[in-house]
Structure 1
């Protein structure tokens, strides 16, 4: 009877080809305190084992428990074990880590996407048990989804237009002799039955699993967007950013990386021009006042955007996290968004632009947005018309019905929602937002238009409440929303953006806002709604 091979659960990291000539010890962080061991010569392996020299540590809460008992609790001291086995073959070098061994190796020598790509190449796409996603919303949101049984990717509700896959676990596909596979970023973990002498064969096998592109048949969307983690790549892109800032390029957009209450904000200013408060974020103000000679990525990270609200509160944001910047190369577009770099596949960029080109510019007429100077305490502040005031004025001057702030409750949403901000007699539902806030507010606008239209279509209770609201605005207006046979046909959703002309609007949107607009457009068009977009510029407020 053949001896059963031992079962091992291993964590693997693949060294980059350009570092293949390093000595085994050089793959570790300089600070790692380890003992190194040669491998038994009978196995004829090239490599070394490194074991962390253990130190005893007491947990943070031991002070409290010793206080309350008045004695030293020696049994609370714990030792953690860590080891790294480096194995080289003529084809590849792999670090197998044990315990906390992954913290001993220096990440810069290892392939950043080895774990996730190898997992996708070796997993059965219908056998996933969990996925970790990073969703590009107004802020990047991290999500972990687990299924109670093996499931296909569709069960996890992945949005392939804005979800970055970070990690995945599941069962192997046919022909793959590994078990319990999981992979995320650089680390690939799996179970295997094998003898020690088979390790070189395993190293070559893992290298082959990484090198092929079989994942493309079921997971091709993962190439749409990749979050960049590698320091050398980030450093290269940061230098491109510095060059553009030095050149005072109009491609540098500064936005707030989170959703805020725009009507409560009266202005913004920057480091070096702190007392010059403007009602919208003006990148030119920042760029014109930098010291080009001393500019570096470190100095940019020290700079701040200051935000002031109507209650005289002041908040600040790191400029680096507020910069939105796109750097294009032949087959990739790199985007800095909320302080993180992403690599976007150009074919994905092209698809999004193609969708946007189908969205028509609205034929409706809208007034421009007012700006004016206001003197207070001897200081001149430039002001911009709040959304609420603009909606009232547009309603009065163009006979649009004002529905702004008229909230309707729905069982399908966690909060009450507006049907729209303005409405015409011809079933045009107009949603209005300022451009001044950058991508967060705009993504919110596109989501709002989508949600309102979907709920109108699918929720009778919501239509009933909407009819009551519409009737109060003007008798007969409720006929636009029949209670029983509401049809999307003949209904138009209009997105109106304040502060930018219609002609340049679509091309000037940040990429992730473009993604959110194209999603809203596809979503609403498929349900039979017409979708259009409009923009209006600013003008000085006439003096009475």
Structure 2
């Protein structure tokens, strides 16, 4: 348990667990009564004769033990049996206790299973299990983007356990008795406090999800304060970004719903911005907002058709909020509805790498284009840019892959990929488009030749000249990638507080991974931020 929690605070206030006198520590238990399983009615429809009278029963217990450590201080451990863990307050326990014990005791070559979550516009969670002890490198972990959620394997000290696994809780495979349980706790605490994991697993400290309720509540209060600042026409760097793709077959016009907004027919917006969100609140009943809970519970964006919001096409506004802040000396990021604590050194490293590829001479400094389609039309007037938007090319090994090489090919050998940073697609999808196209261009002659053929056709259609010198004509085996640039052009509104253009932190993390892949292939990478002016 955390030092600042008591046993009584660690139990959920549901009155289900009864306390039983114990020789040491505190013991709670529960015996549930019988209840029919939900599927019984379905099964009984097939029964001949009297219906089955099946019942579910369960029991659980949790034992809290105070263990004296070498410093003559006490720490409390909870041992949960059955479903008792569901009756415990997760906030009362040390975050990543089991994970750190596992990583401090299991060598990287002795891992057997890991759970990871990939931080992107849509978070992907996966479990990878090995049939025998395996090295970390065999699990396919991206140490910059993947959060370790759980790890398990065979510890170096098999006297401590034959095998173990942990996240917040720790699970041991070991012989144990009431007489030895305190020693196991002391050893586990020693492993939790050790720093051995930093040799092979230091990356787990780069980004950690915040699960302490007291911290998330304090951070959420900051978000509410930022909304109040915006309502008072004060600057704020709170932004909105749709965390996942909206169905391209659906309308992209959205409206705002919930406490404080006007009732009736809704105004539809073509993009999601914090300015429009605040504008709608101001024109509604903003005084009805009393706390962040009103925003989290009721504020939604929905696809709007004829003034009416479509319930199947909706997202919580809170899940779209992006905010970065310092709190008590640590960097926190709100992303896709979750708070993350980012190691300050890692944060600075990501920012430094982003600044290296950020161009101070963007394709256009400012645009009045409302979306990516309008920006493409604007740039198409440049004689040094050849429009390849919606041109589809397939490598020899993937007929029908229909890869778009780029939106524009420049006369100075740049593959330009564009994205509306406030549109319906997450920014990070753009990085992968650039990588896939660049990789196909360098390794596949069929892709290069077909791209050249279609580019020259576009050149004739647009009556532009000279682009036949930009792409290889098939006589050389491979192009010299160092001659080419991969340019990502992103339309963004400037942050209100800093008046500068920028990207969300996790978009920069995924960009760094894509940049490393492109640079390994020999390309130069540039990011061009284009200020999107309000209509």
Task: Give the TM-score normalised by the residue count of structure 1.
Answer: 0.83
Give unpaired runs (5+ residues) of structure 2.
Answer: 69-73, 461-466
Does structure 2 conserve the Cα–Cα contact (< 8 Å) formed by 1:407 and 1:418? Answer: yes
Which residue pairs with 1:349 in the alignment?
347
Which residue pairs with 1:286 in the alignment?
277
Task: Mark the CA change 1:520 to 1:267 in structure 2 (over 3 Å): closer, same or farther.
Answer: same
Match of 1:335 among 325, 333, 342: 333
Which residue pairs with 1:398 in the alignment?
383
Task: Report whether the alignment pairs 1:462 with 2:447.
Answer: yes
| CA displacement, residues 217-267 of structure 1 (integer Å, 9 cap, x when unaligned) | 111100111111222221111111112211224211012111236796553
Where do 1:40-189 residues align within 5 Å? 46-72=24-50, 74=52, 76-90=54-68, 91-174=74-157, 177-184=160-167, 186-189=168-171
Which residue pairs with 1:305 in the alignment?
301
Distance in 2 separating the partners of 1:312 and 1:51: 51
Distance in 1 separating the partners of 2:325 and 2:399: 38
Does structure 2 conserve the Cα–Cα contact (< 8 Å) formed by 1:269 and 1:276? Answer: yes
Higher mean displacement: 51-60 or 476-485: 476-485
SS in structure 1 of the partner of residue 165 of structure 2: strand
Task: Report whether the alignment pairs 1:253 with 2:235.
Answer: no
Distance in 2 separating the partners of 1:232 and 1:101: 23
Task: Report whether the alignment pairs 1:419 with 2:402.
Answer: no
Task: Mark the CA change 1:81 to 1:267 in structure 2 (over 3 Å): closer, same or farther.
Answer: same
Distance in 1 separating the partners of 2:142 and 2:93: 29
Match of 1:497 among 469, 490, 496: 490
Task: Mark the CA change 1:311 to 1:529 in structure 2 (over 3 Å): closer, same or farther.
Answer: farther
Where do 1:13-28 residues align within 5 Å? 15-19=1-5, 22=7, 27-28=10-11
The alignment yields a C-alpha RMSD, in angstroms, of: 3.1
Does structure 2 conserve the Cα–Cα contact (< 8 Å) formed by 1:82 and 1:98? Answer: yes
Task: Report whether the alignment pairs 1:204 with 2:186.
Answer: yes
Does structure 2 conserve the Cα–Cα contact (< 8 Å) formed by 1:362 and 1:533? Answer: no
| CA displacement, residues 403-462 of structure 1 (integer Å, 9 cap, x when unaligned) | 111112244699432010110233211111112228x53111122112211222223443
Does structure 1 conserve the Cα–Cα contact (< 8 Å) formed by 2:405 and 2:437? Answer: yes
Distance in 1 separating the partners of 2:171 and 2:323: 35
SS in structure 2 of the partner of residue 78 of structure 1: coil
Task: Mark the CA change 1:322 to 1:17 in structure 2 (over 3 Å): closer, same or farther.
Answer: same
| CA displacement, residues 203-225 of structure 1 (integer Å, 9 cap, x when unaligned) | 22222221222211111100111
Distance in 1 separating the partners of 2:432 and 2:324: 23
State the number of aligned residues.
503
Which residue pairs with 2:71 in the alignment?
none
Using the TM superposition, give the Cα deviation of residue 99 of structure 1 relative to its aligned residue in structure 2, in angstroms: 2.2
Distance in 2 separating the partners of 1:224 and 1:72: 61
SS in structure 2 of the partner of residue 485 of structure 1: coil
SS in structure 2 of the partner of residue 206 of structure 1: helix
Task: Mark the CA change 1:498 to 1:262 in structure 2 (over 3 Å): closer, same or farther.
Answer: farther
Distance in 2 separating the partners of 1:403 and 1:220: 43
SS in structure 1 of the partner of residue 4 of structure 2: helix
Using the TM superposition, give the Cα deviation of residue 510 of structure 1 relative to its aligned residue in structure 2, in angstroms: 0.8
Task: Mark the CA change 1:211 to 1:72 in structure 2 (over 3 Å): closer, same or farther.
Answer: farther
Task: Report whether the alignment pairs 1:296 with 2:279.
Answer: no
Task: Mark the CA change 1:191 to 1:418 in structure 2 (over 3 Å): closer, same or farther.
Answer: same
Match of 1:230 among 212, 224, 231: 212
